[in-house]
Each structure stands twice: as structure tokens, then as C-alpha cells.
Amino acid sequence: MERVEDNYGVLDDYHVSMVENFSGDGKQDVIVDLFGPLMYSRFPQRIVEVYFNETCDDGRVVLGLYSKMHPDYQNLITEGFGPTSQRAKETGFYFKSRTLAENIMELEKVPVGDHGHPASKHDHTE
């Protein structure tokens, strides 16, 4: 029987979903990845970067994550895509995250300095 770790990278090797080529006619309002490319990639930072680049301003990414890995991905997002990240300084936007359910995380792309995001078209609380 294969170990779960042996399956990581399958999407990288076969380019399932073609995440590297993910581009539409414009930016996406919502991207949903429920236990998909992010969970099975050896390069999760690259997957989140694609999602960040392809999400419109004030857009959202909904992620399904296995419980034991949730803290690892939270750290990746905070450090690489949070309000004090280099990416936020360069782009003026960051991913604000919140947990929707036990294994579901929502990322909203908001402007730096808009921590309460009163101008957000989506009204929600932390």
C-alpha cells in the first residue's frame, strides 16, 4: 500500500488541472480548491502564488485542507501572502484568511491597510 506522502507531487508531475497555466480572460472572483492541487503539490507556495495572481482584488479562494496540515498552510499563507509579506509590499494586496469550517479555509484578497476592509463588497466577521 502506498503511503500518502508518496502521492504528494502527483499533480506536479502530471500537471493535472494545469495550475501553472491557469489563466482565464480575466481575474477570478472565486477559486475553489477542495482537497485538490494545493494538498497534493510538492510546491504549495507556487500553487498559492497562482491563486493570488489569478484572484481579482477583493476576490476569494476557498481551500479544503486536511486538519493536521491546516497549521502548516496557515503559516505558509501568513508568511508569504499576509499583510506584512514582501508580496503585500510589492502588490499592495494580501490574503486575509479565516476558517469557515473544520477543514475549510477562506482567503480574501484585500488591500494592505484595509484590515477591517470596510470597502469590501463581502461583509463578514472574523
E runs forming strands in the chain: 28-34, 55-64, 93-101, 104-111
In a domain, 43, yes or no: yes
Task: Supply the pLDDT for residue 16.
Answer: 40
**Burial of residue 85, with CB atoms counted within 10 A of its CB: 0-12 exposed, 13-18 middle, 19 or more buried:** middle
Whole-number mean pLDDT of the chain?
Answer: 77
What's the grid cell of residue 124? Answer: 463578514
Task: Supply the pLDDT for residue 69.
Answer: 74
In a domain, 89, yes or no: yes
In a domain, 120, yes or no: no
**Burial of residue 64, with CB atoms counted within 10 A of its CB: 0-12 exposed, 13-18 middle, 19 or more buried:** middle
Helices (H) and strands (E) in the chain, counts: 5, 4
In a domain, 122, yes or no: no
pLDDT bucket at 9, cuts 50 / 70 / 90: low
Interval 104-113: pLDDT, tens:
899 999 999 8
In a domain, 116, yes or no: no
Q: Give the residue numbers spanning the domain of 65.
A: 4-19+27-111
What does the buried/exposed string (b/e) look like for 94-119 if buried means 16 or more CB atoms within 10 Å of the residue's CB? bbbbeeeeeeebbbbbbbbebeebee
What's the grid cell of residue 79? Answer: 508568511
CA 73 centroid distance within chain = 9
In a domain, 81, yes or no: yes
Task: Supply the pLDDT for residue 7.
Answer: 52
pTM exceeds cut of 0.75: no
Interval 60-86: pLDDT, tens:
999 998 877 778 888 999 999 999 999
Interval 36-54: pLDDT, tens:
888 888 889 999 999 999 9
Kindly state the DSSP code that residue 102 receives in the 8-state scheme.
T
Query: In the predicted model, is pLDDT for residue 119 greater than 60?
Result: no
Task: Indicate the number of domains in the chain.
Answer: 1
In a domain, 117, yes or no: no
In a domain, 123, yes or no: no
What's the grid cell of residue 38? Answer: 494545493
